[in-house]
A and B are shown apart, each in its own frame.
Chain A
């Protein structure tokens, strides 16, 4: 009897593991999808590099000027799940991503899967990058190829149980990795569509400005409405057009603040947004205007924290 029971238990365990295994398989792109990737243009990729904010995490902490192009990694993100260390993305073969193919890069950006077939933690904002076009990913790859090598070795993340089991991220991705747009907008409005693309895709504004639930998934009902900061102390401002957010700012003022770093009251951005603004200043006036129009269009949601 006991023997029978233990066989049944073992059977359940085996089936359970098998189901977990299948559900958490890395969802790589198929070879035919990768074959359809266009050739990248490094010059165009520079726009995506700044829009994507790559240097803000992957350059050394406090890097300014040309030092931002040395993607040695090292910025730490302290979160409730543990501490993440941004890895080396320089062209170093050993410690960076110098040996990566475009396909490996695309799988990282759009599927959150490493060349070794492991799931990345969503501290790397692939849930936003997954909305990028194949062309923009290819351009970005071409641009990153032109950046310097650096031999700094990447630091392993310090994550507690159960989040240290990367395989479990496969389930998380089933819930939250979706390349569809967050906010429906009129297809005919090219400026609005471009703004949505930049905000929801490469610029990954929602990664900080949208509050997260207990397992780190975005609370879409509060899209861009701010909340407690995922890392460290303090809170993230509401950037919807609600009165508790950017309601008092015109689209021109929003675009101008991204260019100059000053709010309409001539306060200046601080903390991590000061760095984001430096990235945004490298985009075109048209792109900043598109971002502003999108922010004025999305549902205005009241802040859950003081702005």
Chain B
């Protein structure tokens, strides 16, 4: 009897803690992991844009606009995805400077957002806009990304 009560309560406790854990996971998410995915999405868009710029795939204005919009979407997300408390975990490469120099980081994000807002209609226009947009990648990573641990 005691044994089965113990089992039930243990099970309930486990379920409760699992629920709490998943509630926590949904509420705050693994933001470090999510921003890595967002970065990868931006990277995929960059890859598609680069292929068009290099002539590996044919220029298409709709696709080119989608490339810039995806980058822009990423930029809009970055402003929210480095909250206090997400400095570590998930093998983050986010530099401490993001939190110690928030104004500088926000300015870099805003610059990226602004410079991915162009409307493109032809290949030359896209080449110019894409060049300006992608210059942000290295510039921001130089200051706000650290070597992996």
Contact = CB atoms under 8 A, between A and B. Distances in A.
Contacts of A260: 50
A80 interface: no
Contacts of B43: 265-268
A271 B138 contact: no
Contacts of A272: 142, 147
A274 B138 contact: yes
A233 B149 contact: yes
B15 interface: no
B47 interface: yes
A181 interface: no
Secondary structure dominating the interface of B = helix
Contacts of A274: 138-139, 141-142, 145
Given A233-B146, A235-B149, A271-B145, A266 B50 contact: yes
Contacts of B137: 261-262, 268
A108 interface: no
B113 to A, nearest CB: 17
Given A233-B149, A274-B145, 10 more contacts: A261-B137, A268-B137, A270-B141, A270-B147, A271-B95, A271-B141, A271-B142, A272-B142, A272-B147, A274-B142
Interface in B103-149: 134, 137-139, 141-149
Nearest to A231: B147
A229 B147 contact: yes
Nearest to A233: B149
Interface size on B, as a range, is 20 to 34
A269 B147 CA distance: 10
B46 interface: yes
Interface of B: 39-40, 43-44, 46-47, 50, 93, 95, 134, 137-139, 141-149
Interface string A266-301: 111111101101100000000000000000000000
A271 B44 contact: no
Taking residues whose C-beta sits less than 8 angstroms from the other chain, chain A's interface range is 20 to 34
Contacts of B147: 229, 232-236, 270-272
Contact of B47 (A229, A261, A266, A277): A266
B149 A270 contact: no
18 contacts: A229-B147, A234-B146, A235-B149, A261-B137, A261-B138, A262-B137, A265-B40, A266-B46, A267-B39, A269-B141, A270-B138, A270-B146, A271-B95, A271-B145, A271-B146, A271-B147, A272-B147, A307-B148
Contacts of A268: 43, 134, 137-138, 141
A63 to B, nearest CB: 11
A236 B146 CA distance: 10
